[in-house]
């Protein structure tokens, strides 16, 4: 049986951007028929909001667009890297913090910026990392949350395409494994390219 492909979206407090990304991407997976093969969750680099629901403005933006809104905030832990295939950072600050937290270089390579998937063929080398940030809407008005949602939606399609490819490759590798008596190596990892101030 193929192990699920696991993704965690990470922002600062896990009440604004990352729960938004989690909800949007879960919807994309369901539409694409991959929801049974991919597990998605989210967390924050800090634990200030642990146990809280999403920010009411996040809930309102998601609800208006027809997405699920149930959420409980939690903090990301380094021990999670071992079970995750991708760790998706919402901005360059999260990217740096997560890569510092990663126990190994292989774990650090799992951390990617969400908006690096926004345009086909675009990667983190397509500009400065901060140009790929999803701006923190926490201290702004509701329009900032709507803008955040638009950025998340735009990047989610590219991320879905990358995950679909990784899941297909993993399935093929694992399906072929029994044919080889002398090769029982595990499937390779998919190749793909603070303080309380926000969520």
Instruction: For 75-99, write each residue's pLDDT tens digit.
Output: 999 999 999 999 999 999 999 999 9
- CA 66 – CA 31 distance, rounded (Å): 13
Whether the CB-CB separation of 34 and 164 falls below 8 Å is answered with yes
Here the tokens at position 119 are: 């345009």
- The owner of tokens 């201290």 is 139
Closest by CA position to 5, among listed 37, 27, 28: 37
Sheet holding 86-89, edge to edge: 38-44, 5-11, 86-89, 111-113
pLDDT at 198: 52
Instruction: For 131-186, write each residue's pLDDT tens digit.
Output: 899 999 999 999 999 999 999 999 999 999 999 999 999 877 766 655 444 444 44
Tell me the pairing of strands 38-44 and 86-89.
Answer: unpaired
Domains detected in the chain = 5-179 (3.40.50.2300)
pLDDT at 128: 57
CA distances from 30 to 42, 50, 87 (A): 17, 27, 20
Q: Give the CA count within 13 Å in the CB-facing half-sphere of 127.
A: 13
Q: Which residues are catalytic?
A: 11, 17, 136
Q: Give the CA count within 13 Å in the CB-facing half-sphere of 121.
A: 0
């Amino acid at each position: 049986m193929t192990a699920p492909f696991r993704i965690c979206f990470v922002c600062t407090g896990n009440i604004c951007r990352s729960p938004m990304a989690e909800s949007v991407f879960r919807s994309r997976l369901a539409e694409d028929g991959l929801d049974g093969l991919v597990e998605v969750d989210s967390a924050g680099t800090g634990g200030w909001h642990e146990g809280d629901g999403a920010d009411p403005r996040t809930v309102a933006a998601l609800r208006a667009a027809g997405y699920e809104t149930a959420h409980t905030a939690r903090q990301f832990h380094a021990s999670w890297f071992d079970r995750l295939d991708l760790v998706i950072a919402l901005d360059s600050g999260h990217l740096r913090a997560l890569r510092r937290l990663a126990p190994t270089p292989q774990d650090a390579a799992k951390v990617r910026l969400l908006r690096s998937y926004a345009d086909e063929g675009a990667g983190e080398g397509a500009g400065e990392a901060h140009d790929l940030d999803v701006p923190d809407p926490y201290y702004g008005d509701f329009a900032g949350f709507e803008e955040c949602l638009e950025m998340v939606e735009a990047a989610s399609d590219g991320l879905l395409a990358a995950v679909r490819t990784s899941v297909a490759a993993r399935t093929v590798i694992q399906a072929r494994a029994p044919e080889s008596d002398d090769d029982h190596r595990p499937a390779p990892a998919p190749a793909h390219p603070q303080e309380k101030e926000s969520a």
